[in-house]
């Protein structure tokens, strides 16, 4: 039976059925576990295999860009694939074996099969002396090299004068592969959601973003959303550059954007602002986090990190922020074998998805209305909107939301403006506006309203 993203319903996990059911944290973790053993790099069969798995859950399309394609200042590299790699004693005992862990090989290592003196070999070995059980993650995409990553404990056991080193890899003209899913909305204005897909066997940095983005795509595809949503599953840097360089005509439609990564650890949510700093997406995420009830952190844009570096380069300058929990490099397990599925918390994955759904809720629900009875307060009671019992000194948030919507719906304030001024969560302002719009008191100002 096909493994499905599961959804919590009435306290039990069931196979995902309805497109609007939010996948559960354990369902997303299950997808992480399914993708974890696949070897991925910036090119090669692992990216295709990964997208093949995602296609069981969402109709993501595979795009291929030929090696040698010029993308802005970069060139799409040759396609790198690897079948086996190991370091063995001269009598054939394998000391370090790629078959045992995907992190053991430095990405883009050139093919070789020769006996190497230990002094030369050591210059090609990478360990983490402070965490002697862990294997680090290293890449050398754009300079010719070879190397292995291993635990310090493995290295300490290497006492022979020479070893046989075998790397059965190929570096040939081929393609860079990425995934793209467009959920066409009622308008062409677009929300960009991008996550990287180039890390092998690393759970929080890479797979958590893939799992949460996949879950989000499932949540919003039906009924048809107001905005269009473009999901990109791209190899870091070269993948986003490839998409940007070949889709410049689509950039003007991107009104909001988020890069997703590191969304499954136990840390608090961190939002990194777009380069613009005060773009609508920055304001929306700030609003959602302020009303979330859990601690969170908002940090300014820096030209370092994930693909926001490309989306927010000066000649592109899209309103794209980055949603994370603990920032890359901010946890010791980052880029090591300890960033594995056991490091992830289902509750954190579920909370990250819930935050994204609220962000989408504001994007979809924000609009401006006109109070059709602006002279004096309209009489809410005869429209069934006012509690029957008067005289209480305080009113609830829901009633305050009605009063705020009526008072500020003067054509100059959006629902988000009103929520901010009222100090109320967007959802209660949205609920009040929907209730008022069902009467003769409130009318939308534009055609493209929720
Ligand atoms: Zn990384």
Q: How far is the CA of 196 from the centre of ligand 1 (A)?
A: 9
Same domain, 225 and 339: yes
Domain boundary among 146, 172, 198: 172
Q: CB–CB of 180/136 below 8 Å?
A: no
Inside any domain, residue 33: yes
Instruction: Determine the pLDDT at residue 19.
Output: 41
Same domain, 221 and 204: yes
> With bands split at pLDDT 50, 70 and 90, how would you rate the model's confidence at 305?
very high
Instruction: Determine the pLDDT at residue 401.
Output: 95
Locus of tokens 């009605």:
402
Instruction: Determine the pLDDT at residue 154.
Output: 98
> With bands split at pLDDT 50, 70 and 90, how would you rate the model's confidence at 391?
low
Q: How far is the CA of 160 from the centre of ligand 1 (A)?
A: 33
CATH number at residue 443: 1.10.10.10
> With bands split at pLDDT 50, 70 and 90, how would you rate the model's confidence at 449?
confident
> With bands split at pLDDT 50, 70 and 90, how would you rate the model's confidence at 322?
very high
Of the candidate ranges 189-203, 310-324, 380-394, the one whose mean pLDDT is the lowest = 380-394
CATH number at residue 125: 3.50.30.90
Inside any domain, residue 166: yes
Locus of tokens 């995902």:
16
- Residue 291, classified by CB atoms within 10 Å of its CB into exposed (0-12), middle (13-18) or buried (19+), is middle
**380 vs 209: CA distance, rounded Å:** 46
Q: How far is the CA of 341 from the centre of ligand 1 (A)?
A: 15
Q: How far is the CA of 375 from the centre of ligand 1 (A)?
A: 58
Taking each helix axis from N to C end, the angle separating 346-365 and 426-437, rounded to the nearest 10 degrees, works out to 40
Same domain, 101 and 118: yes
- More confidently predicted of 12 and 382: 382
Instruction: Determine the pLDDT at residue 21.
Output: 54
Question: Does residue 12 surpass a pLDDT of 50?
Answer: no
Q: How far is the CA of 334 from the centre of ligand 1 (A)?
A: 8
Which H or E run contains 294? none
Same domain, 333 and 388: no
Q: CB–CB of 106/147 below 8 Å?
A: yes
Inside any domain, residue 189: yes
Question: Does residue 126 surpass a pLDDT of 70?
Answer: yes
Taking each helix axis from N to C end, the angle separating 280-290 and 415-422, rounded to the nearest 10 degrees, works out to 40
Of the candidate ranges 231-235, 343-347, 355-359, 383-387, the one whose mean pLDDT is the lowest = 383-387
Domain coverage including residue 105: 86-172
Domain boundary among 153, 172, 191: 172
Instruction: Determine the pLDDT at residue 385.
Output: 86
Instruction: Determine the pLDDT at residue 22.
Output: 63
Question: Does residue 1 surpass a pLDDT of 80?
Answer: no
Q: How far is the CA of 52 from the centre of ligand 1 (A)?
A: 22
Inside any domain, residue 390: yes
Per the DSSP assignment, residues forming a β-bridge with 75 are 70
Number of domains in the chain: 3
Q: How far is the CA of 306 from the centre of ligand 1 (A)?
A: 8
> With bands split at pLDDT 50, 70 and 90, how would you rate the model's confidence at 392?
low
For the stretch 61-107, pLDDT in tens is 999 999 999 999 999 999 999 999 999 999 999 999 999 999 999 99
Inside any domain, residue 157: yes
* CA angle (39 as vertex; 38, 42 as ends), nearest 5: 125
How many Cβ atoms from other residues are within 10 Å of residue 304's Cβ? 10
Question: Does residue 341 surpass a pLDDT of 90?
Answer: yes
Mean pLDDT computed over 32-36: 97
Report which of 286, 278, 340, 275 is spatially closest to residue 310, judged by C-alpha positions: 275
Q: How far is the CA of 199 from the centre of ligand 1 (A)?
A: 7
Q: How far is the CA of 305 from the centre of ligand 1 (A)?
A: 9
Tokens read off for 239:
């993948």
Same domain, 252 and 305: yes
Domain boundary among 364, 388, 416: 364
Same domain, 302 and 198: yes
Q: How far is the CA of 275 from the centre of ligand 1 (A)?
A: 21
Q: How far is the CA of 161 from the centre of ligand 1 (A)?
A: 34
Q: How far is the CA of 435 from the centre of ligand 1 (A)?
A: 46
**198 vs 200: CA distance, rounded Å:** 7
For the stretch 141-189, pLDDT in tens is 998 999 999 999 999 999 999 999 999 999 999 999 999 999 999 999 9
Report which of 176, 181, 199 is spatially closest to residue 71, judged by C-alpha positions: 176
Inside any domain, residue 164: yes
Q: How far is the CA of 113 from the centre of ligand 1 (A)?
A: 29
Inside any domain, residue 81: no
> With bands split at pLDDT 50, 70 and 90, how would you rate the model's confidence at 20?
very low
Instruction: Determine the pLDDT at residue 446.
Output: 81
Question: Does residue 335 surpass a pLDDT of 50?
Answer: yes
Inside any domain, residue 1: no
Same domain, 187 and 315: yes
Q: How far is the CA of 335 from the centre of ligand 1 (A)?
A: 6
Q: CB–CB of 282/274 below 8 Å?
A: yes
Per the DSSP assignment, residues forming a β-bridge with 196 are 234
Q: How far is the CA of 191 from the centre of ligand 1 (A)?
A: 24
Give how far the C-alpha of residue 417 lies from the chain's centroid of Cα atoms, to the nearest Å.
Answer: 27
Question: Does residue 3 surpass a pLDDT of 50?
Answer: no
Same domain, 359 and 386: no
pTM: 0.93
Mean pLDDT computed over 194-210: 97
CATH number at residue 217: 3.40.630.10
Same domain, 233 and 161: no
Same domain, 307 and 342: yes
Instruction: Determine the pLDDT at residue 381.
Output: 87
Give the HSE-up count for residue 128: Cα atoms under 13 Å, Cβ half-sphere.
18
Same domain, 275 and 387: no
**42 vs 233: CA distance, rounded Å:** 11
Same domain, 429 and 443: yes
């Amino acid at each position: 039976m096909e493994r499905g993203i599961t959804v919590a319903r009435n306290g039990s996990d069931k196979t995902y059925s309805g497109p609007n059911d939010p996948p559960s944290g354990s369902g997303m973790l299950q997808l992480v576990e399914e993708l974890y053993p696949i070897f991925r790099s910036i090119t090669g069969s692992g990216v295709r295999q990964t997208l093949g798995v995602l296609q069981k859950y969402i109709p993501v399309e595979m795009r291929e860009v030929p090696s040698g394609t010029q993308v802005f200042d970069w060139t799409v590299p040759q396609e790198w694939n690897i079948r086996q790699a190991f370091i063995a004693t001269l009598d054939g005992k394998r000391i370090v074996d790629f078959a045992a862990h995907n992190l053991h090989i430095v990405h883009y290592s050139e093919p070789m099969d020769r006996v190497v003196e230990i002094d030369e070999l050591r210059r090609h070995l990478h360990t983490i002396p402070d965490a002697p059980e862990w294997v680090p993650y290293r890449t050398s995409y754009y300079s010719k090299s070879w190397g292995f990553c291993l635990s310090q404990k493995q290295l300490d056991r290497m006492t022979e004068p020479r070893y046989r080193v075998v790397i059965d890899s190929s570096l040939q003209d081929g393609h860079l592969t990425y995934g793209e899913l467009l959920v066409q909305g009622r308008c062409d204005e677009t929300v960009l959601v991008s996550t990287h897909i180039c890390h092998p066997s690393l759970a929080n940095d890479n797979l958590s973003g893939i799992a949460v983005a996949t879950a989000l795509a499932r949540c919003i595809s039906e009924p048809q959303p107001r905005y269009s949503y473009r999901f990109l599953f791209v190899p870091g840097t070269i993948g986003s550059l490839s998409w940007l360089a070949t889709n410049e005509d689509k950039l003007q439609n991107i009104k909001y954007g988020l890069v997703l990564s590191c969304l499954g650890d136990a840390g608090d949510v961190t939002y990194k602002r777009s380069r613009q700093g005060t773009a609508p997406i920055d304001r929306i995420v700030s609003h959602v986090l302020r009303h979330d009830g859990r601690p969170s952190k908002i940090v300014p844009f820096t030209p370092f990190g994930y693909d926001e570096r490309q989306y927010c380069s000066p000649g592109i300058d899209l309103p794209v922020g980055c949603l994370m929990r603990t920032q890359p490099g901010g946890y010791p397990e980052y880029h090591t074998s300890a960033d594995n599925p056991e490091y992830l918390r289902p509750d954190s994955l579920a909370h990250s998805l819930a935050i994204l759904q609220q962000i989408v809720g504001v994007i979809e629900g924000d609009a401006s209305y006109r109070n059709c009875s602006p002279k004096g307060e309209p009489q809410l009671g005869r429209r069934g909107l006012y509690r029957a019992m008067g005289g209480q000194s305080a009113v609830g948030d829901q009633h305050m939301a009605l009063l705020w919507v009526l008072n500020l719906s003067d054509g100059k304030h959006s629902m988000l403006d009103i929520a901010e001024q009222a100090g109320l969560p967007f959802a209660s302002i949205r609920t009040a506006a929907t209730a008022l719009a069902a009467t003769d008191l409130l009318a939308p100002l534009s055609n493209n309203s929720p």
